[in-house]
Structure 1
């Protein structure tokens, strides 16, 4: 009596299914990691802009040492994300602080100081035109803090091995607050 084995057509199906699912699972894992990194960076920078604007709005006057302290505070609040640096690649970041005044003819940039990579262009701070057409009432002012980090989301997924496309630009956040005790339309000294 001999045993004859017949070929099972289902044999090896699990290995083929696994081989087909591995790239999809890796893509899903990579996308999830990218989303988490992007959200974490954005929340850190959002908090940094809000906190720096809140602290700056409480000054009666701003001087060079005060602004240097605000830039250092931005770096500490944003850590481990970079708030400003002169680095390269994903280490590039910039923080800008400025004041926009309201005049009879519209918004006017009173002053603006920045620290970090000047290659990262500002969209809000350092400009008289504020988002959504916001006009500062005549005789009043607002403090604007913008934080830009060159960490571009989807950099892993944009690699040639996956999609090979360029992801969105740097992560940007800003905060606009009204100074509490003074107009802050001038600074004592030069930008640090």
Structure 2
């Protein structure tokens, strides 16, 4: 049975996934997740995901951002020894962060498709909006775990592609709304 590829992330109501926690990417409204009242129950999905995660996947820019923080973060300690895959045509495999578990560099979406055909559990893609769009356009995403924040950003990297493609159906698996306006939406891709 093929491995599932699950995209998990924070998005604005208008579909922007850019710079939710800070201004690293230069988005003028960076840090928009931190502007919403923190309610632990709205983020409970992250703990639920961990029980299902067998590997992590990042695009190059998200890998660079997370690799500076997650290896030493107590909040992300459970991810430390999980296999990690970075989809990049430029990252030198010898330049990956040491002491953060096994890290492999995948050079193409074909390599991602091949990885999905192997043994193992779900692979979770964190951040990585550009990678998520490309994976979706290549019909490689199996599920979306979205926390939708009550903000309209108007500009930034969209999670979803504007490529003219056949309709992609989604089936709602789980949802919840929270008093701070955040929505949890979990969708399976219908094939």
- Name the TM-score class by shorter chain: under 0.3
TM-score of the pair, normalised by structure 1:
0.27
Question: Which one has the largest radius of gyration?
Answer: 1
Q: Where is the helix percentage greater, Structure 1 or Structure 2?
A: 1
